Amino acid sequence: MVDSEIQAPLPGDAHPPGTFLLIRDDEAEVSGRDRVVMLSPVPSKDPNEPLVSYTQLNQVMSVMFVGLAMGCVFFIPLAKKYGRRPIYLVSTALMLVTSFWTSELKSLTELYIANLLQGLAGATNEAIVQITIADLFFVHHRGSMNALASFTPMAAGTQATTEGWRWSYRTLGICNAILFLLFIVLYEETKYSTVIEGIRTGSIDETPAVDGLKDDSKSTMKAADQPETVSASNHEIDSTIPMQTWRHRLRLSSYTPEPIWPYFYRPFQVLLTFPAVLCCGLQYACGVVWLTILSNVISRVFPMPPYHFTPAQIGYMSLGPFVGNLIGSFYGGFLGDWSILFFSRRNQGYYEPEMRLYILHLPALALCGGLIMFGVTVDRGMHWILPSVGGALFGFGLGSIGDACLTLVIDSYVDITGDAFTGIAFLRNAFSIGIPFAITPWMETNGLTKMFIACGFMSLGVTMTLVGMVVYGKRIRRKTARRYREMAAKGRA
């Protein structure tokens, strides 16, 4: 804790308002460091001071993860019962209110409550977006759509420096207000209750798929080079069925009479019944754990010597992981969609969801190497561009693996997408609840180098479990097919 007299102006000093001593070199002999960054405002020893410590911020983050974990369990059953549209509207409205509330809060208790509510509201992004993608897009487009859904801006650090942190939340509130209006007037309900018609189930199975694909291998190869021709089919819209009115498509809810209570426990059944869901959930959960550790280290280490970064510069340190994630999302999403056409062509035209994992060798190494490079270079105080490159490699691996795994789950179990992603989201946030508390003692005990080397090799070990999915995934899907059909029959996502 810095004493108040340290920042007192020196005799004869006459500075205008706003000017104060930020860095003092004459403290070097006392502290043993080259320079000392003076804190403004000066911290007080009074526990009632309305500022927030790092420990309290960690607790706030954990509270938000609790909200994220429980929000999916609460909201997604309602989305399947009453439709996607009302859940999008309610969650966006709640984010809008809590954003403006956070911008005006004056106590730590308010911060806890606001972050809990923001976690509950933001939880819909953990699963309902994937449900909507499954509602709207074909198999060979879902990776690209998951990639687009992962893009996020990074303006908060710069805005916090120029206009104050409260304006960061006000801007978030304005963005949520715009989204809320767009959802009201543009987002049509995507929940669709299938009308069962009198078509024999055997009519699909009796199609001579393999022989036809062999005879057509050349034309299939040509079609795979031009994906737009692959998506074209002889499907025609029945003109005798009247189109719903715009008002009906924007109705507030789409109620269906199935019981809602099974939706609250079924996500945990899905998580424990289908190894693909558990494995991909583990990839997603661990990826967020590594991201939480990296983000916490950036915010703690870079304001200190030898970097002395401002909040804006700390925000810019997220640019490396962001760019890497952007490229990784393209790699796992758009390139992944192209690759499944290539691998399906080589498999006599048949697509297996595990084909999305075939291109993850490079991302697995990048994720491990990026974490190690970031930790080692920061610990040695090397130029900031080096940890930025490490963060970019990490982001590339995280984006690629995350996109491929999430899309694999949608493709494998499309009829229980909501249950699967609710379970994944719960697992992801449950893993992250305790991480903010573990970072400081881990960092102080082992140091940044050992900590990030451990994280890197743990990430590689987790990613290696995907090899089991590549080898045994189809066999597992075959053995669990009966259970999947039973769950799907009880309520489609």
Confirm or reject CATH 3.40.50.10780 for domain 54-150+166-190+257-490, answering yes or no. Answer: no
- Give CA torsion, residues 22, 27, 31, 35, to 10 deg: 50
Residues 6+ apart with CB under 8 A from 405: 279, 280, 283, 284, 356, 357, 466
When comparing pLDDT for 250 and 54, which is higher?
250
**414 in Cβ contact with 134 (< 8 Å):** yes
Query: Model-level pTM greater than 0.75?
Result: no
Lowest mean pLDDT among 152-166, 214-228, 367-381, 387-401: 214-228
What average pLDDT does this structure show over 42-54?
A: 55
pLDDT at 142 over 70: no
What's residue 216's pLDDT? 45
What average pLDDT does this structure show over 17-24?
A: 47
445-454, long-range: CB within 8 Å, 24+ apart, which pairs?
Answer: 447/379, 448/297, 448/301, 448/375, 448/376, 448/378, 448/379, 449/375, 449/376, 449/379, 449/380, 451/293, 451/375, 452/371, 452/372, 452/374, 452/375, 452/376, 452/379, 453/372, 453/375, 453/376
**124 in Cβ contact with 71 (< 8 Å):** yes
- Give 96's pLDDT tier (boundaries 50, 70, 90): very high
> 287-318 pLDDT, tens per residue?
989 988 998 899 889 989 899 898 778 878 88
**292 in Cβ contact with 436 (< 8 Å):** yes
What is the DSSP code string of 336-375?
HHHHHHHHHHHTTT---GGGGGTT-HHHHHHHHHHHHHHH
Supply the mean pLDDT for the chain.
Answer: 78
Residues 6+ apart with CB under 8 A from 281: 271, 423, 424, 427, 428
> 416-463 pLDDT, tens per residue?
888 888 888 888 888 888 888 888 889 989 999 999 999 999 999 999
pLDDT at 340 over 60: yes
Closest CA to 126 of 426, 412, 408: 426
Residue type (1 letter), 246:
W
pLDDT at 176 over 90: yes
């758009």: which residue's tokens?
A: 334
What's residue 136's pLDDT? 77
Indicate the domain borders of the chain: 4-37, 54-150+166-190+257-490
- Give 197's pLDDT tier (boundaries 50, 70, 90): very low
